[in-house]
Amino acid sequence: MSDRTPPEEHARLSPADAEALDRLVDRGWRVEQDDAREQAVLEAVRRLDALETPQSDPSLVDATLARVQAEERRRERNMRIDGRRVRTRRLADMAGIAAVLVVSLAIAMPVLGRMRATALEAGCANNLRALAAGLVDYARDHRDRLPMAAGTAALLGVRPSPADWHTYDHMGNLVAMVQSGYGSSRHLECPSCAQGRPHRHFAFRMPAGDRPFTLTVVARGPLLSDANPAIELRRVGAEVGPGCVSRNHGQRGQNVLFGDGSVLWLNLPEVGGDHIFLPQGVSRPEALPVRVELPVGDDILLAQ
């Protein structure tokens, strides 16, 4: 290693010099005898150690520290939360959530309302089926006859007692049947009836004036149904109006129990062209007479 070595050669050691330096380090800088390369490497290291390093420029250190501090401040600003922006975002988020809730309620309310109405219609049909079982048991124990209270029997006499819908209680037939042990009183009403309505019972078939009131005669005809709206409104003195659908289910229709035990939902209260809520010869609900008259022949009339 000579002082005349070009500058670019001082930047690296030759492989032989590097091996000599490694040997010196391993032996604690002791040179083997007659090893000129190790002696030259050791001398070069001593000269490097004797060189004075220039003093660093204080302004360069200050500039470096200033840049470090500026970078730290920038990071702190980026991490700081702007309260105004947060409030704006929160208000926007709350408005969005409120809008979603309003839309969800608008969609869910009709669905829930229909589900509730369907459940009430099913409960109504179940009550009718329970009464059907009681009527079958009653007919079996009473020579096929269906229950009739004293008030109904008075209408079947040679000189029928006058009665009107304000005082006549045809549901008393079913009440008497239940009191005799054929069924339960909790099945006498439709569960969808409005609370506080005076006549919310089911409508029971009126006996024909010219034939026995038996289950065999009724056969597969209507036997029980939701309340008769014409009689309900006649009793309270209100106008019946053009429609004559039971009010038990919001005038959407009515459940009807037939003599064979089946329960059907009818949108219109008609069976085979016969209106089950109006006597024969009456075409309009408001024309229903106040006086109670028993049907004749195949005419079907359900009353409560």
pTM for the model stands at 0.63
> For position 136, what pLDDT does the model report?
96
Is the CB of residue 245 less than 8 Å from the CB of residue 229?
yes
Give the whole-angstrom CA distance, residue 243 versus residue 250.
12
Give the whole-angstrom CA distance, residue 264 versus residue 220.
12
**What is the rounded average pLDDT for all residues in the chain?**
81
Mean pLDDT of all residues in 147-156:
72
> For position 1, what pLDDT does the model report?
46
Give the whole-angstrom CA distance, residue 255 versus residue 224.
8
Which residue, chain included where needed, has tokens 């016969």? 274
- Greatest mean pLDDT among 38-42, 219-223, 293-297 lies in 219-223
Lowest mean pLDDT among 92-96, 127-131, 257-261, 295-299: 92-96
The model's confidence at residue 48, banded by pLDDT at 50, 70 and 90, is confident
Domains in the chain: boundaries: 15-51, 117-303
Mean pLDDT of all residues in 22-42:
80
More confident residue, 174 or 105: 174
Nearest by Cα to 251 from 234, 264, 237, 269: 269
Dihedral sign, CA of 165, 154, 273, 258? positive
CB atoms closer than 10 angstroms to residue 182: 21
With a cut of 90, say whether residue 234 has pLDDT above it.
no
With a cut of 80, say whether residue 289 has pLDDT above it.
yes
Give the whole-angstrom CA distance, residue 130 versus residue 194.
21
Structure tokens at 296: 């004749």
- Greatest mean pLDDT among 182-191, 234-243, 255-264 lies in 255-264
The model's confidence at residue 271, banded by pLDDT at 50, 70 and 90, is very high
With a cut of 90, say whether residue 233 has pLDDT above it.
no
The model's confidence at residue 257, banded by pLDDT at 50, 70 and 90, is very high
With a cut of 90, say whether residue 167 has pLDDT above it.
no
Mean pLDDT of all residues in 103-123:
80
Neighbouring C-alpha atoms within 13 Å toward the C-beta of 168: 26
Amino acid at 286: E
Nearest by Cα to 226 from 187, 185, 181, 256: 256
